[in-house]
Amino acid sequence: MAKALFDRNEVIDKSIQLFWQNGFSASSMQQVVKATGLKPGSIYHAFGNKEGLFKEALEGYARKGLVKIRKILDGAPSVGEGICMLLEKNIKDSTRKDYCSCFLIKTQLELAAEGSELYELASAKLGEIEALYQRYLEKEFNKTQSRQRATSLMLHIFGMRVYGYRNGSANRMREGLREGLPWLPWDQDNAWPDAEISTQSM
């Protein structure tokens, strides 16, 4: 079998940007070809079809998101403070002119009616993120509390990612999060240090 003459990870990264912005259905093969720089035959040979490439894009996006979450939580003074840093990043992200919600959540919303394999994959990856939050919370709370609070956190993150399209006030979002997640150690001056994590991630 001939060796692929392209960087697979680079192609996946370019595909993430395309699919993230447009979704699965609205991304044509012509757009995929333009975004990746590959010919259709190379795409089909390496990934099977557009769905195969989309799956790898979802996997890559989720994998990077988990790494970034771990990095922030591992480096924070406490799990709660780390979560506050992540939420603050999401708030700042939502006020950007080029705001684009979480790729996994967008995929769920787009494909919910179909219940397709892509929908199930996005759901599974979001489940991994919730499980990660629960494992970290278990360092400070009992298992039942941690499970409940991880679920509550994900509910708020889902809401933030959709609410962001309203171009709402960052302070209003902070107020809503503090009201809904009172167990987090919110900083009264919103002076959380900038975490080394790119925006627009779960």
Please report the pLDDT score of residue 127 as a whole number. 98
Spatial CA neighbour of 51 closest among 101, 2, 114, 95: 114
Please report the pLDDT score of residue 197 as a whole number. 45
The CA distance from 133 to 63, in Å, is 14
Dig out the tokens for 85 from the structure: 């840093």
In angstroms and rounded to an integer, the radius of gyration of the C-alpha atoms of the chain is 18
Dig out the tokens for 173 from the structure: 């979002």
Please report the pLDDT score of residue 98 as a whole number. 84
Please report the pLDDT score of residue 11 as a whole number. 95
**H helical segments located in the chain:** 8-22, 29-36, 40-47, 50-75, 79-94, 103-111, 117-137, 143-163, 170-180
Please report the pLDDT score of residue 44 as a whole number. 92
- Please, what sign has the CA dihedral across residues 186, 63, 27, 122? negative
The CA distance from 4 to 113, in Å, is 36
Domain boundaries, the chain: 62-180
Please report the pLDDT score of residue 6 as a whole number. 81
Dig out the tokens for 30 from the structure: 């012509």
Please report the pLDDT score of residue 187 as a whole number. 82
User: Average pLDDT for consecutive 10-residue bins of the chain (202 residues)?
Assistant: 71 96 95 94 93 97 97 97 96 87 94 91 97 98 98 96 83 94 83 46 54
Please report the pLDDT score of residue 4 as a whole number. 56
